[in-house]
Homo-oligomer: A and B are copies of this chain.
Amino acid sequence: MRPSMQLQNFASKQTPGRDGGNAVPAHTHTLSGSLELMGAPMSFAKGVEIYGESEPADYLYKVLSGTVRTYRVLSDGRRQIGAFHFPGDIFGLETGGVHLFSAEGTTNVNVIVVRRSSVIAAVARDNELASELWSFTAKELNRSRDHIMLLIKNAQERVAAFLLEMAERVTGNAVELPMSRQDIADYLGLTIETVSRTLTQLEDAATIELPSSRRIVLRNRRALVEMNA
């Protein structure tokens, strides 16, 4: 069991303080934008569960700040992180009424919490939104399938893919990682030792620089891309 830490001034797990209700604006016509208006803001401390596997999926979430990990734990304790969610990302949406993953911040996080029923209602009224909802789920599916391709690769290829994925979200070559080595390992299906060693190797090969453990500078992107089988 890994310890989970909790900070002052951040909520522990609870239901949203105020209810966003069904007050959907007539035609926002973007899923992400509509959610913002339908939901209530909420904060969670790093490592505090936002929702748990097999809990009713009455709410979905949009990240305002911070980073969220969604994950599953096998009976013997192995943890697999399904995805990291960054500001702007939506997570926690399920068709069935139940969450199949758990979610927590890898940092302190601010989210918008939206009632699932509000979204369902909005979508029933608005074809455009319905289509967006479908696209969103399909994109998640594609991401998940990419993740599968990741998991059949070797350690170096996985780490390279991870670095490129993280680098996609920033301009420039410096990446500030908002998660621990353990999180990276559990995302890539490796151990922290292997992740650490692989990063060191990449540094030795002058492919990356590691000014600090959470900060990585891509020196040779092409080399990383070429590792992606």
Binding site for B on A (CB under 8 A): 72, 74-76, 78, 80, 82, 94-96, 100-101, 124, 127, 130-131, 133-135, 137-142, 144-145, 147-149, 151-153, 189, 229
Contact = CB atoms under 8 A, between A and B. Distances in A.
A153 to B, nearest CB: 8
Contacts of A96: 138, 142
28 contacts: A74-B149, A78-B152, A78-B229, A80-B149, A82-B145, A82-B148, A94-B138, A95-B135, A95-B138, A95-B139, A96-B138, A96-B142, A100-B145, A101-B145, A127-B127, A130-B130, A130-B131, A133-B134, A134-B134, A137-B141, A141-B141, A141-B144, A144-B144, A144-B148, A151-B151, A151-B152, A151-B189, A152-B189
A142 B100 contact: yes
A101 B205 CA distance: 34
Contact of A75 (B78, B148, B229): B229
Contacts of A80: 148-149, 152
Contacts of A189: 151-152
A72 B152 CA distance: 11
A133 B133 CA distance: 11
Contacts of A134: 95, 130, 133-134, 137
Among A148, A151, A229, the most chain B Cβ lie within 10 Å of the Cβ of A148
A138 B134 CA distance: 9
Given A74-B153, A94-B138, A95-B138, 12 more contacts: A72-B149, A80-B149, A80-B152, A95-B139, A124-B127, A137-B138, A137-B141, A140-B141, A141-B141, A141-B144, A144-B148, A151-B152
Nearest to A135: B95
A141 B133 CA distance: 14
